[in-house]
Amino acid sequence: MTSPIRKIHFGIADRHQMFRLFDRHARRPNRWQNDDSALYAGEWFEIARAEHDYMLEILPPLWMRGEMFALREFLTGSITSLFYTLCINGVTRFFHAYCDLSDPRSPYEMRDAIVERERRPVKAMTREERIEHIWSATHDDYRGYAGADFRPEHRGKRTVIVYGRPGNRFQLLDHLTDAQISEKLPIHLRHLPLPEAA
């Protein structure tokens, strides 16, 4: 079973990127008409200390527990932002994550998943992480959701623009080829290895 916890951006997000990543699903069809908790729960990314401290000072937190605090305002349902200060391999780092507080274990499972992912000695990206980074990094004008020109079973799924002959077109994000994924990743991420199978 695939963990719902997923890294959605590689690198340390600056303030502009952080706010954009907070709602990277903003243009989804039928926004707010369904319970969209599953879109957000489990997403996480790294931020700088300045962004962590800025978020701590905006509003009094809902709660603070050791290396984490939760925002008072909920995004949807029982999903809210958690901010972590974690020492990983001797370095203090800062992270944002969306956790479902209806499960009291969620903040701790998220913390453990972040630490496990970031302790890997070799930087590697799974196919899923590559796809999520592409979605996070692509400008809204070049990504969207499958509409009437897609088969009914694909409508509403995420799409990104691909370039080629005979012209540019939107393609399902999950159907990108390895070559298309490589083209869409920043140069410094293109050659990271896939994780070795356990």
Task: Extract the tokens encoding 20.
Answer: 């954009």
- Judged against a pLDDT cut of 90, whether residue 108 lies above it is answered with yes
d(CA 159, CA 135): 9
**Which is nearest to 110 in space by CA: 73, 80, 131?**
80
d(CA 107, CA 163): 40
What pLDDT does residue 51 have?
A: 95
What pLDDT does residue 2 have?
A: 34
Q: Span 97-120, mean pLDDT?
A: 92
43: Cα within 13 Å, side-chain hemisphere? 23
Residues 82-106: pLDDT tens digits? 999 999 989 999 999 999 999 999 9
Residues 40-93: pLDDT tens digits? 889 999 999 999 999 999 888 889 998 999 988 878 778 899 999 999 989 999
**Which is nearest to 171 in space by CA: 136, 140, 145, 141?**
145
What's the whole-model pTM score?
0.84
The confidence band for 25, taking pLDDT boundaries of 50, 70 and 90, is confident
Q: Cα(first)–Cα(last) distance of the chain, in Å?
A: 15
d(CA 86, CA 46): 11
d(CA 112, CA 101): 16
- Judged against a pLDDT cut of 80, whether residue 116 lies above it is answered with yes
What pLDDT does residue 70 have?
A: 93
**Which is nearest to 15 in space by CA: 56, 60, 50?**
50
Between residues 68 and 120, the one the model is more confident about: 68
- Residue percentage of the chain with pLDDT more than 90: 35
What pLDDT does residue 41 have?
A: 87
Residues 163-178: pLDDT tens digits? 877 778 888 999 988 8
What pLDDT does residue 144 have?
A: 87
- Judged against a pLDDT cut of 50, whether residue 31 lies above it is answered with yes
* Top-confidence range, 44-53, 148-157, 182-191: 44-53
